[in-house]
Structure 1
Amino acid sequence: DLPDTIMDRSVVIRMRRRAPGETVAAFRTGRDTPALHAIRDRLTAWLHPLHTEARDMEPVMPVEDRAADTWEPLIVIADLAGGEWPALARTACRAMTAHETGKDTDTGLRTRILADIREVFAAEGDPPALRTSRLIEQLNADPEAPWAEHGPTGLNPRRLGLLLEDYGIRPGNHRFPGGTQAKGYARTQFLDAWARYCPAPAKRVEPDQTTASA
């Protein structure tokens, strides 16, 4: 992330890292810039006669303080556009601001938890799912990991959920051997995040070693 002094004055659009095998269309200046300039010119032509009206508007904001200052120009434009745009803009403002307010700013921890969870699954034999209690027990037991000191009593279900929420990973009810049902995480939930943010290192292929006979 950028420094806090920039982040809290910005409209933050979170992007996902491209996964192996995914393709995206590359931006080409010569091909794509003219279309963007055309959109810019249309917006300028529309807003120019509305400049005085926009300057004097004091829209009802769904957020307060610095977030309101940041979002106000976009809300003003939405109100000028009318139709569904005022409601859509305010919904986006509330959702995106709330998301950033509740975020754990330590991106390193969010990546670390993914890698450590992969190690726990591997140590357990890569089962289809792990109980939340078992996963937390193993994470807190790692003396080289920060989880035992993550909060007053170490990592717990709520803190684990907060670390994983950006990846869309949430616990669910799973059936485990013996017929018991408990809250846990399915291994398949992590596959996309593992591939994007902490891909496993490629296995080293050792050259064939042959013993020459005299």
Structure 2
Amino acid sequence: MDTVFSPPLQHWLDIVGIFVFAISGALLAVRRNFDVFGMAVLAEVTGLGGGLFRDVVIGAVPPAAFTDLGYFLTPLVATVLVFFLHPEVERINKAVSVFDAAGLGLFCVTGTLKGHEFGLGLTSSVVMGLATAAGGGVLRDVLANEVPSLLRWDREIYAVPAIVGSSAVALLIHLDAVRPVTAVGAALLAFGLRLLALRYNLRAPRAWKRSSATVDAESGGATG
């Protein structure tokens, strides 16, 4: 498959996405009272984790994060910014969330395309798109000893927009309709869904009739 975006454009899109994700990792480290090293670790993991996982799984080794110094340094720049200006960054948290949604849309598209480029089927490519977009955040939360946001019912949907965007790309691949404009359209679809989730507090449904089950469990429903 031909490259959808030109290599220079792809590189800078990746850098922007990594930077925004890294900001969220560094901010979580501040909230968890981590030192500067902990901030850097969470920034690196959040910015690069999804892409690293994808590249290792599909055999694109060494991963881009280890061959392009810019990829590695970008989270460190985010760490320095948050270290000195975290109150200001916190105040523009809504803007950071918008950029995070843009990174989600970009990475679910590029992850799906790269997975297919390396020989994965369409379904597996969709999984790679989701992993690229959300993997760094999952690793960030695990390292910070939190339930990953991806799994929490009290957080706005995150995986669903990524899955929709990745599935749209898979459909484009199936129809042989992958072009820069259609790829951007798929990214905008995921981006828009994530913004709607943030705006209207959209959440995924929980288990059917879970209230009664929860009551039973809390009252010692399991008898022995």
Q: Per residue, is there more helix in 1 or in 2?
A: 2
Shorter-chain TM-score range? under 0.3
Taking structure 2 as the reference length, what is the TM-score of the superposition? 0.26
Taking structure 1 as the reference length, what is the TM-score of the superposition? 0.27
Q: Report the structure number with the largest CA radius of gyration.
A: 1
